[in-house]
Amino acid sequence: MSDLIELYRQTLRIRLVEEEIAKRYSEQKMRCPTHLSIGQEAVAVGVSSLLSNQDKAYSSHRAHAHYLAKGGCLNKLIAELYGKETGCTAGRGGSMHLSDLDVGFVASTAIVANSIPLAVGNALHQQVQKKAEISIAYFGDGATEEGAFYESTNFAAVKKLPILFVCENNQYSVYTPLKPRQPEGRSITRLAQEIGIKSIAVDGNDINQVINATQELLNHVRSGLGPALIECHTYRHREHCGPHFDDDLNYRPRVDIERWLANDPLFKMTQELAKQNNWSAIKADIEKELMLEIHSAFDFAENSPFPDPKQNNNYLYAN
């Protein structure tokens, strides 16, 4: 039960951080687009609970949960959203370009599927250098429609690279559901299996399913048997990009929204933890501790300096 309490704490931490981002976003101090992971946190927490700092993670535009679950510094994340020098990429990357090399979170990128080949390239490096670590590539269901996904998974399978592909299938690409985008009956898991990759599909809002499947797949990868893929069916609560809810646009059926909200990962964990003695007091203490940390992170960002424009050329690949 103590393990579940820690998983709950990490999941709630990501939820509260992002809810605070949403609350403050209208202040116009965070001037970068932001894609929130509210509702999808159990995937990142479950996968990262089985990783080490030496394992290297790559993500896409919706990266806050992956960054935080891997151990990325909260102060640096919030400062990055504020465009401050103390941010994780010195205030020059914003929400979609996060990095914390101290914990093995290498990069996130804004272009759909663009981080997948980067992770595969790192896995090739790990294999050649005979490193005792693996790469992790996070992406959404929309990325599986890009050529980069096919080429990368095919290359990883041929070379038997040490990489875990993590697909967060939240059912939508911006406003478009799966049906108009992918052939009827298509399964991302079966697709990966046909490419030659060991694959498992799970309820991404059930942290136990995520952990159990990830453990099985990591055993496969770490044994040198080649890449693996976990497809996590999940659901974002808020709009594709931004702090608000957009259910008034009616692109998601109300019955689906209600079904997924009832399957919220925090709600599912709370149901189990309610059996714990003194759970109400434990829960209140966790919430108080987390909110103090979060408010401190926002204070850190507010009080940090903006980057010196004279240093901009130091961050260019070409001039």
**What digits encode the pLDDT tens for the residues 10-25?**
999 999 999 999 999 9
Which of 36-50, 128-142, 241-255, 304-318 is least confident? 304-318
C-beta atoms surrounding 17 within 10 Å = 25
Taking the domains of the chain in order of start, what are their residue ranges? 2-293
Residue indicated by tokens 């992002």: 18
Q: What is the pLDDT, as a whole number, of residue 76? A: 98
For residue 276, how far is the Cα from the chain centroid? 29
Structure tokens at 154: 């095919």
The rounded percent of the chain whose pLDDT value lies above 90 is 94
Burial group, residue 295, by CB count within 10 angstroms (0-12, 13-18, 19+): exposed
Residue indicated by tokens 């990759």: 197
Residue indicated by tokens 């981080």: 115
**Secondary structure (3-state) at 234:** coil
Q: pLDDT tens-digit profile of 142-188?
A: 999 999 999 999 999 999 999 999 999 999 999 999 999 999 889 99
Q: What is the CA radius of gyration of the chain?
A: 19
Q: What is the pLDDT, as a whole number, of residue 318? A: 66
pLDDT at residue 319 greater than cutoff 90? no
Q: 2-293: what CATH class? A: alpha beta
Contact 118, 56 (CB under 8 A): no
pLDDT at residue 125 greater than cutoff 90? yes
Contact 228, 217 (CB under 8 A): yes
pLDDT at residue 36 greater than cutoff 70? yes
The amino acid occupying position 142 is: G
In whole numbers, what is the pLDDT of the chain averaged over residues?
96
Give 241's strand partners. Answer: none
| Geometric angle at alpha carbon 128, from 124 and 131, rounded to 5° | 90
pLDDT at residue 293 greater than cutoff 70? yes
Structure tokens at 179: 């049906």
Q: pLDDT tens-digit profile of 189-236?
A: 999 999 999 999 999 999 999 999 999 999 999 999 999 999 999 999
Strands 228-233 and 198-203: parallel
Q: What is the distance between the alpha carbons of residues 300 and 33, in angstroms, rounded to a whole number? A: 21
Contact 54, 38 (CB under 8 A): no
CA dihedral 185, 116, 40, 230 (to 10 degrees): 60
Contact 106, 58 (CB under 8 A): yes
pLDDT at residue 35 greater than cutoff 80? yes
Q: What is the pLDDT, as a whole number, of residue 291? A: 98
Nearest to 55 by CA among 126, 152, 113, 139: 126
